[in-house]
Amino acid sequence: MCAQPWWSRIWTRQEFYLASDEPNWYWGSDSISNAVLKQEFKLLVNLSFALLAKLDPPEGFQFEVAKILGKPLAAFKNDVERISDLISRRFKTNGYDVPRRLYGELSAHATDSRDLVYGLREIFDPVFRKIFVPDYFMRPELLFACLAVFLIQFECWADVLWWYPHRCESVGDHMPTWLPDFSRRADISHLEPVPMKLQDDETPSPKMVILNHRLHAEGYVLDTMYGHRHLDKSDGHRILQELWQFDHILNANLLCHRYIIMEEDKDDALLSLFLQMCKDSLIDRDRRLVPASKGSIL
């Protein structure tokens, strides 16, 4: 079994999460303790600053990377970013991961769904381990209810119902209907937008609270209604014509903030509405203009 390609990954994780003392990291015959690695984290960042800051690498650096590592600079840069992200996250959380972050990215499957909770105990902080003591006599629905309450009440993770949109099928009358099934994470397309994360401006996330088994929640402000155009439902051709006209304007002017209104366009109400939407959308640089505008008109 030790010859399997996945065994080294399992062994590394077991040593890191189950060791009573700081584990050692091995790269061939070289090794370093995790304690030293955490202490030298700032040095790692400083050495990789040029890459992380997207600066031009020093002359000859690209050749040296390819010669020593046998990989192009772009691949080395991806490795540095991934390692730095891993170390910085564990450095800032005293070696523990954050439940809301991990459950938002979790793609694991388990024969016993309770392992999706108990199997992650050692990764999280002592509070999580104290609350979720392994008890395989507990029904999965009840365990998921406890996890949902923990993520909502203590982690303040309102997006949990977005990442886990499926409900437990065997929920009885005494269980809340909104209870998520943590064994069925959302199947996200790489083109689908995901819930917003806190930015530098500390944009508030939606609030959620549980009182008397009832879930009280607020949502994101997704968009703004800029105008209303009444269309005669009996005239299907007219409806398609209006939608086609707007879609044509949208796709023909991706750089809509540079759009110059021609003399013959000044009386076009639909075009004026489109430009107003584009102008207001530019205020929020984090939004993608085209999807936001198209969603507004439809």
User: Got the DSSP string for 103-157?
Assistant: HHH-----SSTTHHHHTTGGGS-HHHHHH----TTS-HHHHHHHHHHIIIIIS--
User: Got the DSSP string for 178-202?
Assistant: T-B-TTS-----TTS-------TT-
Provide the terminal-to-terminal Cα distance of the chain, rounded to the nearest Å: 56
Asked if the model's pLDDT at residue 284 lies above 60, the reply is: no
| Size (the chain), residues | 298
Residue type at position 294: K
Residue 85, pLDDT score: 63
* CA 116 – CA 118 distance, rounded (Å): 6
| Closest among 202, 208, 113 to 157, alpha carbons compared | 208
68 versus 258: which is more confidently predicted? 68
> Tell me: the pLDDT tens digits for 231-245?
777 877 777 777 777
Give the contacts of 46 (CB within 8 A, at least 6 positions apart). none
135 versus 125: which is more confidently predicted? 135
Share of the chain above pLDDT 90, in %: 4
Residue 94, pLDDT score: 56
Q: Which H or E run contains 25?
A: strand 24-27
Look up the pTM and report it.
0.48
Beta pairing, strands 30-33 & 208-211: unpaired
Residue 257, pLDDT score: 44
Asked if the model's pLDDT at residue 289 lies above 70, the reply is: no
User: For the chain, which residues make up each domain, given as ranges?
Assistant: 7-92, 99-187+201-217, 236-297
223 versus 136: which is more confidently predicted? 136
Q: How far is CA 58 from the centre of its chain?
A: 33
Residue type at position 177: T
257 versus 112: which is more confidently predicted? 112
> Tell me: the pLDDT tens digits for 185-216?
888 776 667 776 544 445 556 677 777 777 88
298 versus 35: which is more confidently predicted? 35
Kindly indicate the confidence band of residue 144, based on its pLDDT and cuts at 50, 70 and 90. very high
The token duo for 213 is: 């088994």
Do 178 and 167 contact (CB within 8 A), yes or no? yes
In sequence order, what are the beta bridge partners of 24? 33
> Tell me: the pLDDT tens digits for 34-69?
777 676 666 555 556 666 555 666 666 666 666 666
Lowest mean pLDDT of 52-61, 70-79, 254-263, name the range. Answer: 254-263
| Closest among 146, 212, 236, 228 to 182, alpha carbons compared | 146
Average per-residue pLDDT for the chain: 68
The token duo for 86 is: 């891993």
* CA 100 – CA 70 distance, rounded (Å): 37
Kindly indicate the confidence band of residue 82, based on its pLDDT and cuts at 50, 70 and 90. low
Give the contacts of 188 (CB within 8 A, at least 6 positions apart). 194
Q: Which H or E run contains 215?
A: strand 214-217
Residue 95, pLDDT score: 54
Asked if the model's pLDDT at residue 294 lies above 60, the reply is: no
* CA 31 – CA 45 distance, rounded (Å): 19
Tell me 206's DSSP state: P
* CA 89 – CA 261 distance, rounded (Å): 49
Please report which residue ranges of the chain form alpha helices under DSSP H: 7-18, 34-39, 41-47, 49-52, 61-69, 73-92, 99-105, 115-118, 126-131, 140-149, 160-163, 236-252, 269-281, 289-297
Kindly indicate the confidence band of residue 253, based on its pLDDT and cuts at 50, 70 and 90. low
Kindly indicate the confidence band of residue 143, based on its pLDDT and cuts at 50, 70 and 90. very high
